[in-house]
Structure 1
């Protein structure tokens, strides 16, 4: 085995032992090995390593620790993967002694159930023999020690199991010495003491058996102030009475595998059936039900535990009850226990109260139910030790509420539902429950309303399912309302749900309300988390970036995800993936977001909501500034507005800048929504500032239709508000990118107005931007002298503000114009200077644009070979950047050059590609020009 934790941690690779340093690395390795193949969240690791006051760099330290472990584990073949929200260790279970132990115990249980006792006992002994000392010996982490204690308890359970089997095989005499030693080692363990008493009694040593009882009783009273449990007391009475049932008899079936000792005094003939009624119109969940049944059917040395987790109204309880009804009679013939633990009602049931209910249901008379919770739990485990009972624990709150309710018997199953992430429950299988599929949602409508009514309005049925986000509770409510009002059409209900302000009002029928279901969870949130929930409802985009919560709350912590993770735990917020920087991305279910907005409107005043939105917009603006500065090499060719910026965590910004294009692409939908939200909220300064910043990426990637749609929303609004700086910037920046929408005179008029506004506002950079754009238009119109003058004025302005981007663009145009006008040396010098400045920005697209102008000059001067060579170099750059606009123009230039060189077939292929690119860009004029050249080629 490569990994041994049943004692001091040992790791062995192909070449021999691998030393894992004592401390954090052994601790992290230990928890990953125990949860082999399952994700261990970073938060769990942090809680284990730092119980109190973790340092600010805690996540970085965890990453470093995991990175070192990855290196150390290479010789073993095991791999640690990063998987949201933490890490998972992938290794074969047979390479880890703890998993081998559990596998042997499961196999032994199966053998015992087949009446193969000798093999089962031998396998259990071999499993126990894997121990080399206390689990995780030498590891000091208290939380990990709790896991170790659980494993040590499993070992003792296995010991008691093989002793029970061997006692039933008649080996009582040879076992006395071994059991006696174990009792000395574990004097308070009543199960071992009962086995020693039974072995002595069957060996004809009745007095000694009673003395073992008396010593145990004295010890329990002295140490704990408690009388022995019911098992020991009943055994003592049976020994005193010489009960024949204590004599050895051949094993009569699998029940003997669970333990020795006499039958319990209570509950022998009671079979409880406490399940609520099954839902008649239950639909879907086939995969989940199969998975639950499969887990509960797996053999094990203890009860199998499944936890169904999910948001309010997703159908956890109805799914659990459906599974329980399907499995109950056949797989759990000894009964089904059920309890609503009331986690979301503000008063979760105490486990002692639940145990009392269950004990009475199992036949224990009220006066015989112990007062002490631990005694109740011991009696409960004893009653279920040899039974096959299913326990359904609905709406659980915490692990501590659940642990006393988990039986030890291998024949039992436990099915838990919770809105919380109960990932600290040892040995459980966790299954998240999502909303229904489209088909299952429609099937639910058909179940309630009938096929004819749904078939009569198929489009409305699909719209209705979409309007409630396929949430089962909401579907049941709208179905019930429509069933109660036969004269209502499905379309009318869709119309009622269309306005999100009143949607939750419509989702109520009798005792069923989505709002009430959500409020049960919301009311249990800590105050800060509840405020974050409400403010996050203000986010309009399809997803919620990690930093948004910090911006809305004005929180400057380095890891803003800590603010919203409690909402994820409560299933009020979903994690839908990670962004390019590796941070989690969140999303609301539509109905949950509606509720969040209600809470925000009720709790926050207008001033605090406005300040939160200002910070959110400021965060987007700051990220746009950073991403564009990285793309263009600095704050070039853009006028920034006066809207305040809010700085997301520096580490997040740094990771965004590793690949700004990937960040832009990942946040494209959110940026589109935030621009439109600024318009809807009357934030004119933010709206144009956001659009100008976003336009850089949209232009480079050829999303011209998207840019046009946003421009058509922002420009009239900013003009109506009289925002002159905003209008000037839109005319000079965005309108230039949308040149295909305007003829030359219109574009020139817009730029003249932009220049006038910038001049009146004293905006030097803006004046330079407008003059350079006017120079391009003037040159296209044939007035090269004026174009040169405008470019020289623009260059002066760009130099004055230190704008390298504007400088190389101005020099690029003047160099090309001078060369075309006959001053080849002067033009080449300016183009060379432009190329040097473009290189200093670090923007490969800038250098490519200068090279393209140089190539055009080559072609004009008749140097076709050099021009084609430069254009091929430029094409490679813009293709690598995914710059569709650049590709379209360079393909056109290159095709024309190849035609000039007589390479007709190559020219035709390049020009056809250029036409396709201009098609994507909606550049009809450019496409027509290319089509004309193609036609001339024949």
Structure 2
């Protein structure tokens, strides 16, 4: 349609009543799409004489299937939409003209029912290309036998309607479906009116197809049959916008293969058999910037490009949100883009302007949900992680996993959730913000989620052969952990959920769930050994230590001090390590519970390692003797493994590497008997280093090769990096420098990737070619 200066639609371009009504709708869009209710309130005082006007009366004036309009009502609507008096006069004249043409048999245009194509339509090249190609290919086929149905679905505000309208216009402009174009807004999600009755839609379509009112059947089935008959062999395009569900549109499909149906809905339309489904996502960054520039002007956007990117990011790349934000900016010529960016920091509620807002659009989807789905939607909005599974969602809601899965699938069908990986659900940022705005977080729901993570992490650590936390968590919620059965499943769970675990720890601390905070931090101990991640591990352990002390929990305090001791030991800050271990020992001496006795035993054993490195051998022996004296009977097997390994380390640091190899092999046998795969693998690294110091290159090469194989089997990146480092040293000692450099390069890549301190050792090897000794684990 033609436009006047300033973007106003030109009523003079209308050839018939339907086009005039379409332009009236475009005028409403130009004015910011005020709701029919608010427009009715404005129109009433402008009528002659003034009177109360029903919203339904105003709605009827925008229906393109109408045969006549009330001239006074049209004039009042145009005035209420903000047009000046000369413009009002042009609308009055055109309204009289199109009514006259209709009475005298002039161009009626009953088949040209498409809404106007927006001048601001942007992007969607891939979707346009695919859907248009599907329509054309079908029409060019030699023997088409079914009607083409393209269903466009997606979240609220993502631009489904505008894409469908643009596709329809592109096809018609190219000469396809030139006979008939029918359009209806099915009001599947209308704030003021119920969904359109398919029978009433069929009646309107039949009237537009020239069927006299008295000949239209009464029943929906008969109307559908007549509709299909009238469209037989006609080149027709039917646009069914905003469908509530598949049932609403089923009888509106013609049967002729010469027809095309475009359906849009914010609900899944997968139930339409044979339909070409197009799930519309938000804009790409480039598309979002292009739309902003098209509305507010490219010069304005390019002048503040970084701020423009912040704006579209705040809008979540959602077309409707960008349109609302851009309309506000366009109306404020004195504003800089930074002014709008500051406004948008107010969240989803700030996306409102000129009668349009994002929150009411989301309301329509949310309020249509059954009550259990609404509750789960709100609770999942406060889930600490970036995504979640049915199991963790069930923990949040306190319901069965099967029920949570059904509700999550419903939310997925309603496009209130997204799914990028099978079994995992996530929010679009704006939808998450909307969900959180519906209610404050429930403390009990957060506690249930954190408990689920603690219990599952404990089970995973057991499968990873890590020592359990001695004190069971107080189970007041009836939460069940995820069922994990193998080492590989446990490590994969930690890898997938690591980001969520971090978020859960921070959220639990924020909400003072202290007993859960330190247990969550303790659960990451196995990842420290397998994936390193030392900086984050230390932060979480410090957070856990604060929580344990606030809660007055000595066992939690001992566990967290142990974590800090291990972290400082890995970074070779031995004085700190000694201090942490001595604090544990003193704490345990004041609390003689069985669990604390074991913590004291572990601390004394680890203290002996520190003393060996510091060459305080008498202190090391004394610590081992005391550890053995107080070790609980049910833990002696595990402690014996560790003690023998520490004795081996003592020989290593004293320079008796032959004895070190002997005791490391003895420790390895004990680890094997105890079923501790990690201990067995770690021992190969220690045997390799000791053998290398003895210049036993064959023994070192065999040990490091076995170390690497075992590290891969247990999927330890730390051990893999150290094994490559040891292999490189062994190869360099035997003058195989090319192979050594390849091994060092691999070591540097792995160790740098996890932030391990020995990445620098590998870099020095690559730079100098010299082998400098480093210590056993």
TM bucket (normalised to shorter chain) is 0.7 to 0.9
Q: Equivalent residue for 1:591?
A: 430
Listed as ranges, the matches of 1:787-936 within 5 Å are 787-795=620-628, 800-802=633-635, 805-817=638-650, 831-832=664-665, 834-858=667-691, 865-893=698-726, 919-920=752-753, 922=755, 927=760, 931=764
Q: Give distance in 2, aligned partners of 1:799 and 1:930.
A: 44
Provide the rounded CA distance (Å) in 1 between the counterparts of 2:762 and 2:215: 96
1:545 equivalenced with 2:389 (yes/no) = yes
Q: 1:252 aligns to what?
A: none
Contact in 1 for aligned 2:324/2:357 (Cα 8 Å)? yes
**Residue pair 2:238, 2:261 contacting (<8 A) in 1 also:** yes
Correspondence for 1:663? 493
2:171 maps to 1:338: no
Q: CA deviation at 1:283?
A: 0.2
Q: Residue 489 in 1 paired to residue 319 in 2?
A: no
Deviation at 1:709, TM superposition (A): 4.8
Aligned to 2:439: 600
Q: Look up the SS of the partner of 2:333 in the other structure.
A: coil
Instruction: Rate the CA distance shift 1:828–1:880 in 2: closer, same or farther, 3 A.
Output: closer
SS in 2 for 1:327: helix
Q: Does 1:438 align with 2:285?
A: yes
Change over 3 Å in CA distance of 1:893–1:424 after alignment to 2: closer
The residue that corresponds to 1:282 in the other structure is: 121
Q: Is the 8 A contact 2:115 2:165 kept in 1?
A: yes
Q: Secondary structure at the match of 1:736?
A: helix
| Aligned-partner Cα distance in 2 for 1:391–1:920 | 56
Q: Does 1:744 align with 2:583?
A: no
Q: Which runs of 5+ in 1 are unaligned?
A: 1-267, 579-583
Tell me how far 1:877 sits from its aligned partner: 2.0
Would the alpha carbon gap of residues 285 and 826 (structure 1) be closer, same or farther in structure 2, given more than 3 Å must change? closer
Distance 2:759 2:124 in 1: 54
Q: Which residue of 2 aligns with 1:139?
A: none
Q: CA deviation at 1:636?
A: 1.3
Task: Give distance in 2, aligned partners of 1:803 and 1:539.
Answer: 42
Contact kept in structure 1, 2:463 and 2:485, CA below 8 Å: no
Residue 333 of structure 1 contacts residue 388 of structure 1 at CA under 8 Å; is this kept in 2? yes
Per the alignment, do residues 921 and 531 of structure 1 end up closer, same or farther by CA in structure 2, a change over 3 Å counting?
A: closer
1:209-258 Cα shifts (integer Å, max 9, x gaps): xxxxxxxxxxxxxxxxxxxxxxxxxxxxxxxxxxxxxxxxxxxxxxxxxx
2:55 equivalent in structure 1? none
CA contact (8 A) 2:691 2:700 kept: yes
Matched, 1:512 2:345: no
Aligned to 2:243: 396
**Counterpart position of 1:364:** 211
SS in 2 for 1:571: coil
The match for 2:92 is: none
Aligned length: 654
Change in 2 beyond 3 A, CA 1:936/1:404: closer
- Per-residue deviation, 1:432: 0.5
1:733 corresponding residue in structure 2: 563
- The 5 A counterparts of 1:154-553 are 271-297=110-136, 298-299=138-139, 300-328=144-172, 330-345=175-190, 347-498=194-345, 502-553=346-397
**Are 2:153 and 2:267, in contact at CA under 8 Å, matched by a contact in 1?**
yes
* Pairwise CA distance, 1:367: 2.5
Alpha-carbon deviation of 1:702? 3.0
Q: Tell me the CA shift for residue 681 of structure 1.
A: 2.4
- CA pair 301-746 structure 1, distance change in 2 beyond 3 A: same
Q: Deviations over 1:740-761 (max 9, x none)?
A: 5563222211111122224434
Structure 1 residue 919, shift from structure 2 partner: 4.7
Please tell me whether the aligned partners of residues 732 and 773 of structure 1 are also in contact (alpha carbons under 8 angstroms): no
Aligned mates of 2:245, 2:737 — CA distance in 1: 75
Distance 1:321 1:896, change over 3 A: closer
Deviations, residues 464-514 of structure 1 (Å, cap 9, x unaligned): 11122101111111111111122332223323333xxx4122011122211
Deviates more, 1:421-430 or 1:896-905: 896-905
Q: Does 1:636 align with 2:464?
A: no
Partners of 1:643 and 1:686 within 8 A in 2:
no
- 1-structure distance, mates of 2:301, 2:160: 26
Deviates more, 1:832-841 or 1:364-373: 832-841
CA, structure 1 residues 380+854, in 2 after alignment: closer, same or farther (shift >3 Å)?
same
How far off its partner does 1:447 sit?
A: 0.5
TM-score scaled by structure 1? 0.64
- Distance in 1, matches of 2:768 and 2:494, equals 36
Residue of structure 2 in register with 1:62 after alignment: none
SS at match of 1:344: coil
1:918: Cα distance to partner? 5.4
> C-alpha displacement at 1:417, in angstroms?
0.6
Shift of 1:859: 5.4
Conservation of the 8 A alpha-carbon contact between 1:302 and 1:407: no
After the TM superposition, which residues 620-699 of structure 1 pair with which residues of structure 2 at under 5 Å, given as runs? Answer: 620-632=453-465, 636=467, 638=469, 642=473, 644=475, 653-654=483-484, 658-699=488-529
Deviation at 1:811, TM superposition (A): 2.5
8 Å CA contact 1:622, 1:646 repeated in 2: no
Structure 1: how far apart are the matches of 2:763 and 2:152?
A: 61
After superposition, what is the alpha-carbon deviation per residue over 1:339-372, rounded to whole angstroms, capped at 9, x for unaligned?
1112223722221111111112222222222211
Partner of 1:774: 607
Matched residues in 1 for 2:741 and 2:233: separation? Answer: 83
Q: Tell me how far apart the structure 2 counterparts of residues 911 and 334 of structure 1 sit (CA, whole Å).
A: 73
Residues 379-426 of structure 1: CA distance to partner in whole angstroms, max 9, x if unpaired? 111111132221111111222211111111222211111111122212
Structure 2, unaligned stretches of length 5 or more?
1-106, 773-777
Contact 1:641 1:726 in 2 (8 A): no
